[in-house]
């Protein structure tokens, strides 16, 4: 019996999004606080879509840690496996700059953050066993002991026939060099059932400057993956199956406010659709529509849409 459609493992942090748009961060005076961190955003998005979700991570024993855990519980995520850091490590912070709808950047504060101190002993087999799918974020592999905790969670998922979804989620902060990224990304990608990332993230995985999708899928389909999703921003996304099929998902038109949040909302809705038995083509559309909604809103997590909002947008732009 599975209790959770999806358990995500990795960071749950704080986003501080510029309230004043279209100006550099130097001139931004006000920021709004939201829960952030790619795997947390994916779990929040999936939970808002009605999936039953759990989370494995580590948060600080302070006001930010409690804010993160309270918000995640309020949206329906099981937070029983979010360890509380007792050594004074702090939450990661992501300040966002919205220079224009297409020029956004993130200034991350991630030195010695609590999420990278998740210990392998804090990953529980009985918990992972209860999931249909484990969503692993690449950033959790950046440093020990979180690296070993994530590797352990993948091993336990495989042992218990839990589907492993690897969201590459490459963030340069805290990685030492490109070789290291490629080593750990390859280890996990080769053991995952589904791998999702942008073209640039797959380049990091393969340690190449200009990869192409054909080479990527030829390499990964020699290993465990059955489904690979490669995102190309507004140009849309592609899904490849081990049986040799290719599907293309178009991006939906959107009144874009900022670019971040697209990837996490895409993953949440794509995985929701697959869980509900939709086709891969439909899942690409759910992912793209969800992303189009989130890029038109101020936050990543709080802006995650409902199924009705996603389906309304798909219907509206069906031609
Ligand atoms: N400006 C945009 N307008 C509408 N949809 C977008 C936009 N940017 C991204 N998307 C959608 O979000 C998906 C993921 O975006 P992408 O930028 O590739 O990922 P990430 O946010 O992880 O870098 C795209 O495949 C597309 O469907
Ligand atoms: O992942 C983070 O730590 C920052 C996120 O919370 C932030 O909302 C963001 O950058 C999401 O961007 P995405 O990868 O484009 O979904």
Instruction: Look up the CATH number of the domain holding residue 68.
Output: 3.40.1190.20
Q: Does 106 reside within a domain? A: no
Of 30 and 173, the one with more pLDDT: 30
Q: Does 26 reside within a domain? A: no
Give the closest residue (by CA) to ligand 1 atom 22: 263
Q: Which of 166, 202, 231, 294 to mutate to test the pocket of ligand 1 (most atoms within 8 A of CB)?
A: 231
State the closest ligand 1 atom to the C-alpha of 169, by its place in the atom list counted from 1. Answer: 22
Q: Does 294 reside within a domain? A: yes
Beta strand spans in the chain (E): 4-9, 13-18, 31-36, 53-60, 82-85, 93-100, 103-109, 131-137, 163-167, 194-198, 227-231, 237-241, 246-249
State the closest ligand 2 atom to the C-alpha of 259, by its place in the atom list counted from 1. Answer: 15
Residue 213 and residue 231 in contact, taking contact as beta carbons nearer than 8 Å: no
**Contact 140 CB / ligand 2 (< 6 Å):** no
Q: Which of 98, 258, 260, 301 to mutate to test the pocket of ligand 2 (most atoms within 8 A of CB)?
A: 260
Residues with CB under 6 A from ligand 1: 198, 231-234, 236-237, 251-252, 254, 256, 259, 262-263, 266, 288, 291-292, 295
pLDDT in tens, 165-187: 999 999 998 899 999 999 999 99
Q: How many CB atoms lie within 10 A of CB 178?
A: 14
Q: Does 115 reside within a domain? A: no
pLDDT in tens, 219-249: 999 999 999 999 999 999 999 999 999 999 9
Split at pLDDT 50, 70, 90, the class of 319 is: confident
Q: Does 250 reside within a domain? A: yes
- Whether the predicted pLDDT of 21 surpasses 90: no
Q: Cis peptide before 277, with omega less than 30 degrees from 0?
A: no
Q: Does 215 reside within a domain? A: yes
Q: Does 77 reside within a domain? A: yes
ipTM higher than the 0.90 cut: yes
- Per the structure, how many domains does the chain have? 1
State the closest ligand 1 atom to the C-alpha of 287, by its place in the atom list counted from 1. Answer: 27
Domain containing residue 227:
4-11+39-89+120-316
């Amino acid at each position: 019996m599975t209790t959770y459609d999806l358990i995500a493992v990795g960071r749950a942090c704080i986003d501080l999004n510029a309230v004043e748009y279209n100006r550099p961060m130097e001139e931004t005076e006000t920021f709004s606080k939201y829960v952030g961190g790619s795997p947390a955003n994916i779990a929040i998005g999936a939970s808002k879509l009605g999936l039953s979700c759990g989370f494995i991570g580590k948060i600080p024993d302070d006001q930010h840690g409690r804010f993160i855990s309270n918000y995640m519980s309020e949206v329906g995520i099981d937070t029983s496996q979010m360890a509380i850091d007792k050594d004074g490590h702090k939450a990661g912070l992501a300040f966002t700059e919205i220079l224009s709808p297409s020029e956004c950047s993130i200034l991350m504060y991630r030195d010695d953050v609590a999420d990278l101190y998740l210990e392998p002993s804090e990953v529980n087999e009985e918990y992972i066993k209860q999931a249909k799918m484990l969503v692993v974020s690449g950033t959790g592999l950046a440093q020990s002991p979180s690296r070993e905790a994530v590797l352990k969670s993948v091993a336990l998922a495989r042992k218990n026939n839990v589907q492993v979804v690897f969201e590459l989620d490459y963030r340069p902060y805290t990685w030492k060099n490109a070789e290291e990224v490629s080593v750990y990304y390859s280890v996990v990608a080769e053991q995952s059932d589904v791998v999702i990332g942008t073209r640039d993230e797959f380049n990091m995985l393969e340690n190449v400057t200009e990869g192409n999708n054909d080479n990527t899928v030829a390499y990964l389909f020699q290993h465990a993956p059955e489904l690979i999703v490669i995102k190309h921003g507004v140009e849309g996304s592609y899904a490849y199956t081990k049986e040799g099929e290719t599907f293309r998902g178009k991006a939906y038109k959107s009144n874009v406010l900022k670019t971040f949040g697209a990837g996490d909302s895409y993953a949440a809705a794509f995985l929701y659709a697959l869980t509900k038995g939709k086709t891969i083509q439909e899942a690409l559309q759910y992912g793209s529509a969800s992303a189009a909604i989130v890029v038109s809103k101020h936050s990543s997590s709080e802006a995650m849409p409902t199924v009705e909002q996603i389906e309304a947008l798909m219907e509206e732009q069906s031609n």
